[in-house]
């Protein structure tokens, strides 16, 4: 009987605070009113950013503009391998929901994920979707120094079986999906089950876990961009685990930082879209003041606002708060609900 992999980490204040903020931002994004055109735009942006960042981390030279052109089916001047790396990753992310068997991630699914990511890229095509049978190492491309030595090839099948059993276990399902994605990302990179393409497959696997666990069913969040923005920080966070006796705490702090940054960017886009919609619909409105904009953003984020919240936000008197409220009512942007002391304001 196989031993089930069991991750070692502690919940720090940073991790817990990140998870709370992530949940709040995600709820705001998923509950916002979004017309189909906006949803398509958010999905497309996430897809392009993820494909560009995840391949760039591993040395792909294509720019974000070139990746965008490829995503639109246009031809670009680039090496065939560079194109294929991006196109393969784009196709995998576009169809990420297909990489599961009745909501589970199996060995067959992971092999298929790697096969599709590395299709026609590896020097030997027989290595596509097949566990490595050679010892590999992760090295610094500039200095040639060995950064990390993965387990020997004969250990890979057993380690992957234990890891996959954990992903589908009750213990895993009791954890926050973001924690499961973060643990899985690290453990996959540590095992390094394939000759090449392990980083891209690990990041695609994390995305798949978030989709299956219904965290990102709309495919709005691109985590890869965070890793690419500071590659040294990414590699240092991965390396920190081994130096800390395989304690994943520091890595999960870094990982949840990334998820929070990614989801906050989407939240800002959604707030902006909603604000612009209300601006256009406001009768006779030319422009909102900075204070009025913050008020509307607060209502979009929280669903409502009270007079006392007005006062606290801007450290103003009750009279000044009512003056601002009346201006927004006159602009047909907000309307009162409730009566007496229980009165609050919502977007009209």
DSSP secondary-structure letter at 305? B
239: closest CA among 170, 332, 321, 138? 138
List the catalytic residue out of 52, 185, 192, 278: 192
Burial of 298 (0-12, 13-18, 19+ CB in 10 A): middle
Cα–Cα distance, 249 to 239 (Å, whole number): 12
From residue 346, give the alpha-carbon distance in Å to each of 216, 276, 296, 297, 303. 27, 16, 9, 11, 6
Helix/strand/coil for 336: strand
User: Rounded to whole angstroms, how far apart are CA atoms 209 and 104?
Assistant: 9
Helix, strand, coil shares of the chain, percent, nearest 5, are 65, 5, 30
Other CB atoms within 10 Å distance of the CB of residue 301: 17
* Residue 38 CB-half CA count within 13 A: 16
CA distance 10 to 251: 11
Q: Tell me whether residue 192 is one of the annotated catalytic residues.
A: yes
Matching residue, tokens 């499961």? 180
CA distance 276 to 288: 10
Active site residues: 192
């Amino acid at each position: 009987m196989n031993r089930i992999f069991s991750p070692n980490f502690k919940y720090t204040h940073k991790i817990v605070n990140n998870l709370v903020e992530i949940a709040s931002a995600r709820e705001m994004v998923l509950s916002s009113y979004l017309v189909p055109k906006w949803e398509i735009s958010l999905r497309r942006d996430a897809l392009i950013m993820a494909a560009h960042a995840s391949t760039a981390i591993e040395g792909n030279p294509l720019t974000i503009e070139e990746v965008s052109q490829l995503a639109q089916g246009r031809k670009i001047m680039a090496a065939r391998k560079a194109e294929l790396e991006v196109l393969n990753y784009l196709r995998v992310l576009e169809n990420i929901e297909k990489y599961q068997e009745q909501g589970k991630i199996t060995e067959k699914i992971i092999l298929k994920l790697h096969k599709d990511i590395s299709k026609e890229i590896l020097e030997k095509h027989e290595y596509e979707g097949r566990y490595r049978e050679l010892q590999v190492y992760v090295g610094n491309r500039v200095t040639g120094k060995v950064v990390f030595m993965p387990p020997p090839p004969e250990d890979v099948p057993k380690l992957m079986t234990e890891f996959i059993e954990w992903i589908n276990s009750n213990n895993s399902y009791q954890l926050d999906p973001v924690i499961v994605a973060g643990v899985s990302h690290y453990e996959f990179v540590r095992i390094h089950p394939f000759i090449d393409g392990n980083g891209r497959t690990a990041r695609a696997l994390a995305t798949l876990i978030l989709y299956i666990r219904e965290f990102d069913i709309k495919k709005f969040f691109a985590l890869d961009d965070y890793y690419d923005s500071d590659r040294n920080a990414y590699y240092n966070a991965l390396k920190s685990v081994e130096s800390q006796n395989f304690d994943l705490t520091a890595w999960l702090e870094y990982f949840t930082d990334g998820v929070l940054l990614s989801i906050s960017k989407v939240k800002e886009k959604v707030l902006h879209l909603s604000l612009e919609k209300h601006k256009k619909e406001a009768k006779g409105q030319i422009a909102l003041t900075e204070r009025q904009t913050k008020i509307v953003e607060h209502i979009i984020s929280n669903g409502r606002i009270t007079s006392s919240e007005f006062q606290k936000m801007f450290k103003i008197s009750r009279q000044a708060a009512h003056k601002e409220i009346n201006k927004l009512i006159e602009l047909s942007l907000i309307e009162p609900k409730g009566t007496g002391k229980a009165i609050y304001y919502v977007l009209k």
